Structure 1
Amino acid sequence: MKRNVLNSLVVLLLVFSSSVSYAGKVKKGFVALEMHDYFKAKKAFSKGMKYNPEVCSFGLANLYSRDNNVFYSKDSAYRYIRLAKTTFYDAKASKRERFAKYGWDANGIDSLERIIADQFYAEAKRINTSDSYNSFLNSHPNSIHAQRALTVRDSIAFFSAVMENTSSSYKAFIDTYPQSDYIDIARDNFYEVEFSELTGDESLASYLKFVQLNANSPLRPAAEKKIFEIVTEPNTQESFDVFIRTYPENSMIDSAWRQLYQSSMDTFDLLTLKRFKNKYPNYPYQKELLRDMEYIDSVFLPIKQGDQFGFMNTAGITMIPPVYQQVSKFSEGLAVAAKNGKYGVIDKYNQVRIPFKFDAISDFNNGRAIVEQNGLQGMIHRNGSFVFECKFDDMGTLSDGLIYASDGEKFGYYDVTGFLRIPMKFTDAYDFSNGIAKVELDGLAAFIDIYGVYVVPPAFEELRIFSDSLYIYEQNGFYGFTNRLGKSVIDPMYDEIGELHNGFAIASIDGEIVYLNGGGQVIVQNDFEEFPNFMSRGEFLNGEAIAMKEGVYGKINQKGREVIKFQYENLGMGAYIFPFKKKGQWGVMNASGKVIVPSKYTSIAIYDDAYIIASTDFGEGVLSINDKEIIPMSFLSVEYLTDDLFVAESETGFGVLRKKEMIAPLEFDSVQMFGKDFLLLIKLERWAYLDIATGKLIEMRVETGE
């Protein structure tokens, strides 16, 4: 019995001694670690792992995380800190209390874990690939660097997709990173690149295949429009006919019908309309066609009675009674009218085609008009349907098949079907012209094409087109040239740069006028001085330009050589004849410098190289280019209208002359053009029209056409 008790005591003593011994290993390990004796620390912690793995794993993690010893290993540090973290609360409280002095507590473990995570993040940054950041995120999802790593990873992956720029690269990104901040632009790029890949040869077959394979693609309308453009490229009645019969489900079918109609109207008369109606019984706009036939040759002129407006025909018969607050001219068989403060649209039957519910309506253009409602703009079709609901703060005009619109914060571009072709991402936008449009992004100007791709990236506060490859930019009040990459190719040194016309552009620098070629290089420079309105007056016209030297005017050719001597007080513009000023008086000379009208007038203006409006101390009149008087110098003012028509002003009012013949008396308050065929003459409440071709004066009669 005594022997068994003795044996038990020996076993307990051995266990206690071993425990004390390994506890001593912990202490030795941390002391060695503090003394930077890393070999001793590693040995102590490694042996201590048998009985004290919780604290020794923390010690080893500490050892491996230090980059000032041969044992430095991020992977080992990560392995042991994970072990320390998962076993910490498995240890007895007494043990946690005993070894807390070595930093082995929850805060210490978390702190060391963050240090190790920092090392992994630094390594991920050094490698700087999406894989390196993915590896970091997989092992350290809760790191303070996780969000940044996620952002950078997505950026690298997206940039890689952009560099490859294929539909498969964007598809891979979309599938791999569906929650990325880049997902929307990746999808946009995917659709555009896929469209480009499938339709790269721009053939009819490729667009048809795209529509077949991508029925739900946002670029399907673009493909259908291309189909429409290719099939109808001849722009003939036959081509639109083929399109309508072959592609009745195409989104451009409406445009096809309308353009078929327009293309059939080479002669817009009743016979042509009847032929169209018989040939196309399924034309969807029969009512419009019938009304066009009814009033094909009728002209409706606005009339005013009190504060109300209506329309009369050219016989002076009232066709639409004056019941509206405002009316526009008829355009495409429709007129905008206002009633009770709201705008609608009427036809020549005075039928309301579009209800009076809008705050404004523009003139119709190809069956469409901009409308405004509650401060927001939209677009309507002539049949009353919306192309766009009234939801935009601003809208442009339709050009190159696109129209800009703003939601109050950003601008984008829509096509005529109402599809958003270029996303709402710009801070300002302008109409397209020749396939490009100016936009602004956060205060910087740029140019885009009809697909929204930057032609010139946003790099300058002000930007305008100079040539196919050069753009004018402004910096600190001076102008220079940039290329399509947004890189300055000619530093900003000019005070002004004009537009390029026939290979020449006028510019000024330090008060001197020079001329530039299409490359922005100076090609004419001869100490020419600035003068009033030189940017327009100094442009080359018929190979010659007005210039100034030493305070006097002359003319130069495109080599900068003098062709009209520098001796005049002023010169006016003109291709073949032009005004000159000498000794305070104006005359006219021809391109060879021969005086054809002596300098004896106080002012001169030339129109159509045929008529000269001249002023004397006694009044204004009109001369021929042979210095013959057409209209005597007896009027307060004379204004050229068109052909041989002039508006003259006397003390009794305005009138109209055809050369010397007075065809409208000098009694009106104003005279203005109304379309190209009529003049509108107003005297108080009296409205009259003058038929330019016949000289007939038209006024409202009492009779009505009802």
Structure 2
Amino acid sequence: MNRTKYISIIITSLILLVMGSCKLSKGFEALDAYNYFEAKKYLEKSLKKQESPASYGLSKIYFRNDNPFHNLDSAYHYSLLSVESFKESKEKKQKKWRKKYDYTLEKAKSQRKEISDLGFQNATIDNSVVSYQFFIAKHPWSHFKEVAEKRRDSLAFLEAQSVKTSAAYEEYLKKYENSAWRHKTRSLLYLAQYDESVREGDTKSFLYFINEYPENPLVRDAHYQVYSIETKNGAIPDFRSFIRRFPDNPFLDDAWTSLYRLSIADYRKETIQKFASDYPDFPFQYLITQDLKLVGKQLFHFSENGKYGFMDENGALVINPIYEYAGQFNNGLAVVIKDGVYGYINKDGNQLIDSKYEEAMDFDQGRAIIVEKDMYGLIDVSGAYIFQPEYLDIGEFSEGIAYVQNEIGYQYYTLDGSLAFSTIFDEAFTFQNGIAKVRKGEEKGYIGLDGAFVVSVTEGSLSHFKDSIFVHELRDSMNLMFANGAYLFQTGFDQIGTLVSNRAIIEKDDLFGFIDGKGKIVIPMEHNPYPNYMQFSQFKNDHVILQRLNKYAMIDSLGKSVLPAIFNGIGTYGELIPVTKGQGWGYSSKDVRLKIEYQYDYAFGFENGTAIVEKNNMVGLISLKNEVIIPIQYESIKRLSNTVLLVKIENLYGLISITNDTLIAPEYDRILEISPNFYQLIKDQKITYYDTAKVRLISLKE
């Protein structure tokens, strides 16, 4: 009896299996014939015994949009079920499915991929953090997962950036640990924490920030603000008080140094000794020793056998010529190159800052720009980094501020390496007269020393005209604009030139005139443009040259005629005016009388009673009476001052006085003006100096 019952059970199971297989076969046949009602009925009945292929078929039905059962959620559910149940099924079953229905795991995964691809497409259409996050969560196997994560992270970053609070940035960093925008978000978080904590001019707020966010890289800036606020008057008592009250401030050394430099402002030996007596705890005793030794010492670099060294004002050797290059001393230090790298020495020749830089600039205001591994940094006179060499560019300090560029953009910093203000710009330039040209996104214009836009536009371009007036160029029109955005003229011009001698060209409808620095039209637009008129019709000595009917005329700053349009060329206005009618140059008086006949190949303007003239490709100097002061025998003559001229003959340079006295014979390869009345002379790579004030030649004694 038991045996009979066992056989019955086996037969029943075989019948059910065959029936299940038949249902699955009928389901797939109906699916192939697009008979979705029959297919769905048979496939649902097959789920219990043939879960994976039946789920695959149902996923197909729900995924297709040509039947009433179309439902992406159901398609997604059955696609997952088909893959997972296939993996859990026995190998014997898997082989049967492959043989009988051509059904494999790859087909199940392919169906799942189609659904995932459509899910990504839908997420892209919605293009939101939520839609991408939903897709990532539901389709972790998708090859679009990484793309979705990047787009989600990017959109979430933009959302956090629009809120601009430290809480928003912290939340972003918490949620998106692997974001490509994590570094930038952290930088913005630091700025937000700083901006939310501090109040301008309030020491307590900066101290709060320092204590609350000790890991924030702007803590150094906060310390500097404390230093800056407490010593804003720049007086000796302020620095003394700061040293006493803030002994842990990282700018304590700066305070000591400033106290020292202020206390010895006259740089006299007695003053330095008094400071040493008054401040025995001064941490930089070596500065006192050094300054006492070097005070008043003047050194000049020279070159010998391709190497640079230094001599004193008497030509005595002070520092041996061992350097591949040496600059002049600034702030007590000179940049030198040795073995191809840059460093700094003092006037004793001691290497105060190691030669380790790829490039180094001269010190200015106690700071020098250096380059390491193609990145810019900033150091002080001790060699300490104000900025580590990790910046793309550092501008020159002007008005105590310089721009610094990194991968985020441009920011402005003070001499002490602290943020002048927190704004980040996409483009930035050096401050001039209290303003700097910048661009931030679509907004471009000029900012003040507080970092706020003084004037800005989002279309066209801006350039500075004068004071609080700017030139706004928009498409083919230019107009003068005040800082408040109001235009000075109701309609624009085709051209507005640069202001020179309080006059600028304005041009419209092929006529030009001139305005002054306040935008007032002082010479009406009644003159016709000619080739290069924007260059040649610039005021000089309060006069300008115009062209009329291919002839040249001259008018004064109010438009009054000085010379009529009868000349082929006119030079610079002066005591006499250079003119030509085509056959040589001469000089006319202001009442249009020819004072010096047409006889020169070219004539320059008179200055202090003398003028440079050219004849037969040689130049000389004449007086108002056409007397030759300096023979016309030089290849070139250049005025260096009212009394000194640089001359060139046979490709060699010399110096002569305005009265033709030879100061330096023309035998040098180059002559450079180092400072007023002081010149550097270079011959065969050897360097000497000439002081016209003291009438002395400084050269290395043999």
Contact conserved, 1:581 with 1:599, CA < 8 A, in 2? Answer: no
SS in 2 for 1:642: coil
**Structure 1 Cα separation of the partners of residues 125 and 372 of structure 2:** 57
Once the two structures are overlaid, the 10-residue window that deviates more, 671-680 or 105-114, is 671-680
Task: Confirm whether residue 693 of structure 1 aligns to residue 675 of structure 2.
Answer: no
Once the two structures are superposed, what CA deviation does each residue of 1:190-246 show, in whole Å capped at 9, x if it has no partner? 222332333365644433332232222122233333344444443444444444444
Relative to structure 1, the CA distance from residue 181 to residue 378 in structure 2 (aligned partners, 3 Å threshold; closer, same or farther) is: closer
**Structure 2 Cα separation of the partners of residues 659 and 628 of structure 1:** 15
**Superposition RMSD in Å:** 5.7
Once the two structures are superposed, what CA deviation does each residue of 1:525-576 show, in whole Å capped at 9, x if it has no partner? 55543456x55543345775433333333346789886764444334456x7
**How do 1:627-706 and structure 2 match up within 5 A?**
631=629, 636=634, 638-647=637-646, 660=659, 662=661, 664=663, 666=665, 669=668, 672-680=672-680, 689-695=689-695
Q: Residue 217 of structure 2 corresponds to which residue in structure 1?
A: 218
Deviation at 1:581, TM superposition (A): 1.6
Task: Confirm whether residue 40 of structure 1 aligns to residue 38 of structure 2.
Answer: yes
Tell me which of 75, 78, 83 is aligned to 1:77.
75
Q: Residue 538 of structure 1 corresponds to which residue in structure 2?
A: 537
Deviation at 1:71, TM superposition (A): 1.8
**Structure 1 Cα separation of the partners of residues 339 and 17 of structure 2:** 100
**Structure 2 Cα separation of the partners of residues 667 and 394 of structure 1:** 42
**Structure 1 Cα separation of the partners of residues 567 and 355 of structure 2:** 60
Once the two structures are overlaid, the 10-residue window that deviates more, 7-16 or 238-247, is 7-16
**Structure 2 Cα separation of the partners of residues 645 and 238 of structure 1:** 47
Contact conserved, 1:605 with 1:612, CA < 8 A, in 2? Answer: no
SS in 2 for 1:615: strand
TM-score, structure 1 as length reference: 0.74
Deviation at 1:76, TM superposition (A): 1.5
Contact conserved, 2:221 with 2:417, CA < 8 A, in 1? Answer: no
Q: Residue 123 of structure 1 corresponds to which residue in structure 2?
A: 122
Deviation at 1:141, TM superposition (A): 0.2
Q: Residue 190 of structure 2 corresponds to which residue in structure 1?
A: 191
Relative to structure 1, the CA distance from residue 554 to residue 662 in structure 2 (aligned partners, 3 Å threshold; closer, same or farther) is: same
Relative to structure 1, the CA distance from residue 679 to residue 32 in structure 2 (aligned partners, 3 Å threshold; closer, same or farther) is: closer
Deviation at 1:175, TM superposition (A): 0.8
Once the two structures are overlaid, the 10-residue window that deviates more, 5-14 or 242-251, is 5-14
Q: Residue 489 of structure 1 corresponds to which residue in structure 2?
A: none
**Structure 2 Cα separation of the partners of residues 688 and 53 of structure 1:** 98
Aligned AA (2:318): I
Contact conserved, 1:55 with 1:104, CA < 8 A, in 2? Answer: yes
Relative to structure 1, the CA distance from residue 445 to residue 168 in structure 2 (aligned partners, 3 Å threshold; closer, same or farther) is: closer
Unaligned ranges ≥5, structure 1? 484-493
**How do 1:297-696 and structure 2 match up within 5 A?**
297-302=296-301, 311=310, 313-314=312-313, 316=314, 318=316, 320=318, 323-324=321-322, 327-336=326-335, 345-354=344-353, 362-370=361-369, 381-384=380-383, 397-398=396-397, 401-402=401-402, 432-434=430-432, 465=463, 499=498, 526=526, 528-531=528-531, 535-540=534-539, 545-555=544-554, 565-573=564-572, 579-583=577-581, 584-587=584-587, 598=596, 602=600, 603-605=602-604, 610=608, 612-615=610-613, 620-621=620-621, 623=623, 631=629, 636=634, 638-647=637-646, 660=659, 662=661, 664=663, 666=665, 669=668, 672-680=672-680, 689-695=689-695
Deviation at 1:684, TM superposition (A): 7.8
Deviation at 1:174, TM superposition (A): 1.0
**Structure 1 Cα separation of the partners of residues 478 and 592 of structure 2:** 40
**Structure 1 Cα separation of the partners of residues 14 and 279 of structure 2:** 109
Contact conserved, 2:613 with 2:621, CA < 8 A, in 1? Answer: yes
Deviation at 1:140, TM superposition (A): 1.1
**Structure 2 Cα separation of the partners of residues 539 and 209 of structure 1:** 57
Aligned AA (2:147): R
**Structure 2 Cα separation of the partners of residues 280 and 268 of structure 1:** 17
Contact conserved, 2:342 with 2:358, CA < 8 A, in 1? Answer: yes
Q: Residue 484 of structure 2 corresponds to which residue in structure 1?
A: none
**Structure 1 Cα separation of the partners of residues 605 and 504 of structure 2:** 24
Deviation at 1:498, TM superposition (A): 5.8
Contact conserved, 1:524 with 1:558, CA < 8 A, in 2? Answer: no
Deviation at 1:179, TM superposition (A): 0.5
Task: Confirm whether residue 30 of structure 1 aligns to residue 28 of structure 2.
Answer: yes
Q: Residue 489 of structure 2 corresponds to which residue in structure 1?
A: none
Once the two structures are overlaid, the 10-residue window that deviates more, 564-573 or 374-383, is 374-383
Task: Confirm whether residue 87 of structure 1 aligns to residue 97 of structure 2.
Answer: no
Deviation at 1:313, TM superposition (A): 4.6
Percentage of pairs with the same residue: 24
Relative to structure 1, the CA distance from residue 55 to residue 288 in structure 2 (aligned partners, 3 Å threshold; closer, same or farther) is: closer
Deviation at 1:183, TM superposition (A): 1.3
Deviation at 1:149, TM superposition (A): 1.6
Contact conserved, 1:579 with 1:604, CA < 8 A, in 2? Answer: no
Contact conserved, 2:680 with 2:689, CA < 8 A, in 1? Answer: yes
Deviation at 1:83, TM superposition (A): 2.3
Deviation at 1:98, TM superposition (A): 5.8
Aligned residues: 672
SS in 2 for 1:529: coil
**Structure 1 Cα separation of the partners of residues 21 and 339 of structure 2:** 97
Aligned AA (1:36): Y
Q: Residue 49 of structure 1 corresponds to which residue in structure 2?
A: 47
Q: Residue 490 of structure 1 corresponds to which residue in structure 2?
A: none
Contact conserved, 1:396 with 1:430, CA < 8 A, in 2? Answer: no
Aligned AA (1:80): Y
Relative to structure 1, the CA distance from residue 563 to residue 357 in structure 2 (aligned partners, 3 Å threshold; closer, same or farther) is: same
**Structure 1 Cα separation of the partners of residues 269 and 357 of structure 2:** 34
SS in 1 for 2:538: coil
Relative to structure 1, the CA distance from residue 173 to residue 311 in structure 2 (aligned partners, 3 Å threshold; closer, same or farther) is: closer
Deviation at 1:634, TM superposition (A): 6.5
Deviation at 1:77, TM superposition (A): 1.8
**How do 1:188-267 and structure 2 match up within 5 A?**
188-199=187-198, 203-264=202-263, 267=266
Relative to structure 1, the CA distance from residue 9 to residue 273 in structure 2 (aligned partners, 3 Å threshold; closer, same or farther) is: closer
Contact conserved, 1:30 with 1:59, CA < 8 A, in 2? Answer: yes
SS in 2 for 1:109: helix
Relative to structure 1, the CA distance from residue 300 to residue 70 in structure 2 (aligned partners, 3 Å threshold; closer, same or farther) is: same
Once the two structures are superposed, what CA deviation does each residue of 1:473-518 show, in whole Å capped at 9, x if it has no partner? 99xxx9999x9xxxxxxxxxx9998656689765999999787999
Deviation at 1:35, TM superposition (A): 3.3
SS in 2 for 1:69: coil
Relative to structure 1, the CA distance from residue 249 to residue 556 in structure 2 (aligned partners, 3 Å threshold; closer, same or farther) is: farther
Aligned AA (2:546): A
Once the two structures are superposed, what CA deviation does each residue of 1:666-699 show, in whole Å capped at 9, x if it has no partner? 5764654343353456788997655433445666
